[in-house]
Amino acid sequence: MPPLAWLAVALVSGMAAYLVGWPAWQSYRSRESRDVNTERYLQWRGRADRVSTTSTREGMTNEERRRIYGGGALAVVGVVALLLFFAGS
C-alpha cells in the first residue's frame, strides 16, 4: 500500500478509537464520581455507616469494558499503521 493510505488508515482508526472509547471512559468516570459524592453527602448528613466495610465502587459495566477494549484495539491499529507510514515514506 502507498504510504498515504497507511496515514489515512492511522487517522481513521485513531478517530474511531476516540469515538468508541472516550464516551465509555467518561461514563465510567462520572459514575465513580457520582458514587463518591453520594457517599460523602450521606456522611455529612450523618446517615452513612460509621464503618464503611464495603466499597461503593461497582467497576465498569460489560458494555463499557467492551467499548474501551475496542477503542484500545483501534488505537493499536492506528499506531501500527502510523509506523508503517513512516517506514514506507
- Could you report the per-residue pLDDT of 15-54, keeping only the tens digit for each? 999 999 999 999 888 877 776 777 777 777 777 666 655 5
Cβ atoms of 24 and 71 within 8 Å: the answer is yes
The predicted model scores a pTM of 0.74
pLDDT for position 50: 64
pLDDT at 88 > cutoff 60: yes
pLDDT of 59-81, one tens digit each?
A: 788 999 999 999 999 999 999 99
Q: Is the Cα torsion angle 34, 37, 39, 42 positive or negative in sign?
A: negative
